[in-house]
Amino acid sequence: MVIPERLRPILDEVRPLAQRFDAGGHRLYLVGGIVRDLVLGRPLAGGDIDLTTDAHPERTTELVSGWADAVWDQGARFGTIGLKKAATTFEITTHRADAYSPDSRQPEVSFAREVEADLSRRDFTVNAMALRVTGAEGEAPELIDPFGGVTDLAAGVLRTPRSPEESFSDDPLRMLRAARFLAGYGLLPDNALVTAVGQMVDRLDIVSAERVRDELCKLLLVEDPSAGLWFLVDTGIAEVVLPELPAMKVEQDPIHRHKDVLAHTIAVVAKTRPNLLVRMAALLHDVGKPKTRSIGARGVSFHHHEVVGARMARDRLRALRFSKEQVEDISQLVYLHLRFHGYGDDAWSDSAVRRYVRDAGPLLEELNELTRCDCTTRNERRARMLATRMDALEARIAELRQQEELEAIRPDIDGQAVMAHLGIPPGRAVGEALAMLLEARLDEGPLSEEEAYRRLDAWWASRS
């Protein structure tokens, strides 16, 4: 059998390990996403190389000692030994045959002799494949595919190796993970999987917020998360992990039957690049609309939904244990996503541009992208008009950036200079003086030092 060229670099890295396991009377297999992507012919992402073996952890440690540059056994009780050779990290796990109790997602760890038993515990058939690697030079690996993963990849079907009820009982997070594989690999769930999710979705309550967060982030970072997001809503998963999402099934315009807020939201997410801050902000940018929706003589409106939405986004992100910095950045993008539209159709003043840049801070690029992608109208004339306005804004920002330090807008004199000039100690008056000078800077651009002190004197005299 001819070894595919894309497989050779992986075999070259794994073969020295396989020789050691062969000599010790054990077998070594490549498993996980690397096998799936090799079958699909996808480029292999960098990262750890996952392997499984019939050798127990202590035996694995013996076999790799003297060859690996470093070995760690923190996961030994779960069967995993980690090691590093040059720049490559390997994780070798003993075949697992775990048993789960119905009221827990923590398995009672047990080991198996055969790789098929290990593969049966995997989440989906497309991930339940292994490649047997030997130490023999030039020998192609043997594909182990007891559950038809290759067939399912070809047919575009997502199934579980065992019954979906068993699989999701073992680890309920697999229900959420299914969304990522549907979106990332263009698969469709089989009927049994969908039925099981609908019956077992409440079991997601026992999954930690951190694991839910991580899986949601992985979904948002696939090329187009749309199919996965609809799966979360349609199966009821979103009601458990992100209830703000199904709540957005409200019409934008009940008279003309324009697409609802949820359909618009998922379309905006799909238009953005796979950047976590932008994608998460796109997902949450309109969560305030259901709470602010009102219908009057001029139709439906969502006044101040960006304010309500920023607060809701902050609460949800904290519940999902996002970092403090991510919470602030994403909620700020939600809060600012209408700012571009708030200036009306007139030409922007320099002051307006400065304030826009100042408020966006380091999120300017992300805010501009979110603003552009928020336009999902089918009205081509309006879409062109909004795109032209954003082009003009970005050109104006670039022009002012050449003239001024837009990213570092601050008063033309600092607090120390204010205190020295006015002869006052630190306190509220200093902050008020700096705020006055900042407003002048935003309105008029950079002031000379002489003019800044003149404004300060005038303000101090009027205050007194």
Question: If you average pLDDT over residues 327-340, what whole number do you get?
Answer: 94
Select the highest-mean-pLDDT range: 229-233, 369-373, 431-435, 451-455: 229-233
Domain limits, the chain: 5-155, 157-241, 252-258+273-407, 411-463
- Of the chain, the percentage scoring pLDDT greater than 90 comes to 56
pTM for the full predicted model = 0.82
Question: If you average pLDDT over residues 211-239, what whole number do you get?
Answer: 97
Higher pLDDT, 106 or 206: 206
Looking at residue 333, its pLDDT comes to 97
Looking at residue 385, its pLDDT comes to 81
Check whether 150 has a pLDDT greater than 50: yes
Question: If you average pLDDT over residues 223-244, what whole number do you get?
Answer: 97
Question: If you average pLDDT over residues 117-140, what whole number do you get?
Answer: 91
Q: Which of these CATH numbers, 3.40.50.2300, 3.40.50.2020, 3.30.413.10, 3.30.460.10, describes 5-155?
A: 3.30.460.10
| Arithmetic mean of pLDDT over the chain | 87
Distance of alpha carbon 184 from alpha carbon 40, whole angstroms:
13
Check whether 248 has a pLDDT greater than 50: yes
Looking at residue 343, its pLDDT comes to 56
Looking at residue 131, its pLDDT comes to 94
If pLDDT is split at 50, 70 and 90, which confidence band does 444 have? confident
Check whether 160 has a pLDDT greater than 80: yes
Question: If you average pLDDT over residues 254-282, what whole number do you get?
Answer: 86
CATH 1.10.110.30 fits 157-241, yes or no: yes
Question: If you average pLDDT over residues 197-211, what whole number do you get?
Answer: 95
Question: If you average pLDDT over residues 295-305, what whole number do you get?
Answer: 74
Check whether 60 has a pLDDT greater than 80: yes
If pLDDT is split at 50, 70 and 90, which confidence band does 256 have? very low
